[in-house]
Amino acid sequence: MANWQWFHRLGSPKWLHGTINRWLPWVLVSALVLLSIGVVWGLAFTPPDYKQGNSFRIIYIHVPTAVVALAGYYAMAIAGAVSIIWRMKVADMALRAIAPVGAAITLLGLFTGAVWGKPTWGAYWVWEDARLTSMLVLFFLYLGIMALHDAFQNRQGGSRAAAIIALVGTVNIPIIYKSVDWWSSLHQSASIKFTEESTIAAEMMYPLMVTIPGVYLLFAAAVMLQMRVQIAHSERHSRWLEKYAINRA
C-alpha cells in the first residue's frame, strides 16, 4: 500500500533522523525571526496599557508560554495515545521529548506571570488568580511524567506508563482548570477582580499574533532536538549513525 509508506517509515529511526535534520533549520530560523519581530515590536513599538503601564509588555512572552505549556501537554497525550494504540516508537520518543521542554515552558509561564503580577497586583504570587494556580498544577503534571520516565529502568515500560498517565491527565486537566477557576472566584477578595475582560486595543494585540506562533515553533524545534538526542542514544551501535558521525566532522 503506497499510501501507507510514510506511516511505516515513521518507525525507522534513520528516516526520522534525516527528516529532523532537514526540517530543523527552517523551524528554528522561522521561530527566531518571529520571536525577534514580535518581541521588539511589543517591547518598543506598542503604546503602554492605560491601566497597567509598561508592565503589560510581559504579555508578549507570558501568553505564548502559557498557551504552549497547555498545548504541549495535549501534544504529549496524543503521542501517548498513538504509542498505546499503534505501539509506534516515534510516539514514545515524542512523549519523552515533550515532557522536559513542556515543563521548562510551563516554568517560564509561571515566572513571567509572577513577575507581571508584582507591579499589577502588588504581589508576585496571588492565589486568587486561577490561571497561575492551574499552571502550577500543570507544571506538577509534567514533573510527574518526567519522574515516571526516570523511575523505570526498562525504557519501554516507562514510556507506556507515561503514556497512560498523560492520557489520564488529559481527561483531568479540564476538570482541574474548571475547579481551580471556580475555587478562585469563590475566594476572590473584593479588591482584586480578574473576571472582567480588559479591553486591550487591537494594535497592542498584533505582536501577540507573532510571538504565539514563534513560541510554538521554538517548542517544536526544542522537541526535535530532544528527539534527535534519543535517536542518537538508541541507535548508537548502528552503522548508519556511525557513518553519519564520521562524515559530519
Partner 1 sequence: MPDFTVSDSTIPDPTVLSRNTKLSDQYRPVFSIFYALLVRDFHVYFRHRGAWLNPLTFIFMVILLFTLGIGPNATTLTANAAGIIWVVALLGIMLSLDALFRADYDDGSLEQLLLSPEPLYLPVMAKVLAHWVVTGLPIVVASPLFSLMLGISGKAIPALALGLLLGSGVLSFLGAIAASLTVSLRSGGLLIALLILPMYVPVIIFGSQFVQSAIEGWPLTATLSMLVALLIGSAVLAPLAIIGGLRMSIDG
Partner 2 sequence: MYFTSISELWHMAGHGSYVWAAYGASLIVLGASLLMPARAYRRQLRMIKAQSNSIDD
Q: Contact positions toward partner 1, by CB under 8 A?
A: 84, 137-138, 140-141, 143-144, 147-148, 151-152, 154, 156-157, 160-161, 164-165, 167-169, 171-172, 175-176, 178-180, 182-183, 186
Q: 3-state class of 18 per DSSP?
A: helix
Radius of gyration of the chain (CA): 21
What residue 71 binds from partner 2, partner 1, none (CB within 5 to 8 A, per partner kind)? Answer: none
CA atoms within 13 A on the CB side of 214: 19
220 lines the binding site for partner 2 (CB under 8 A): no
- Residue 87 · residue 93 · CB < 8 Å: no
What residue 164 binds from partner 1, partner 2, none (CB within 5 to 8 A, per partner kind)? Answer: partner 1
What residue 86 binds from partner 2, partner 1, none (CB within 5 to 8 A, per partner kind)? Answer: none
Please, which residue, 81 or 228, has the CB nearer to partner 2? 228
CA 75 to centroid of chain Cα atoms: 8
Q: How many CB atoms lie within 10 A of CB 62?
A: 22
**Phi and psi, residue 234, nearest 5°:** -75, -25
Q: Which grid cell sits at 200?
A: 486591550
Return the residue of 13, 16, 38, 62 that touches partner 2, per CB under 8 A: 62
Distance CA 219, CA 209 (A): 16
Q: Which grid cell sits at 72?
A: 504541549
Beta bridge mates, 53: 49
146 lines the binding site for partner 2 (CB under 8 A): no
- Please give the size of the binding site for partner 2, defined by CB under 8 A: 46
In whole angstroms, the minimum distance from the beta carbon of 108 to partner 2 comes to: 5
Residues interacting with partner 2, by CB under 8 A? 28, 39, 43-48, 53-55, 57-58, 61-62, 65, 100-101, 104-105, 107-108, 111-112, 115-116, 118-119, 215, 218, 221-222, 225-226, 228-229, 232-233, 236, 241-242, 244-246, 248-249
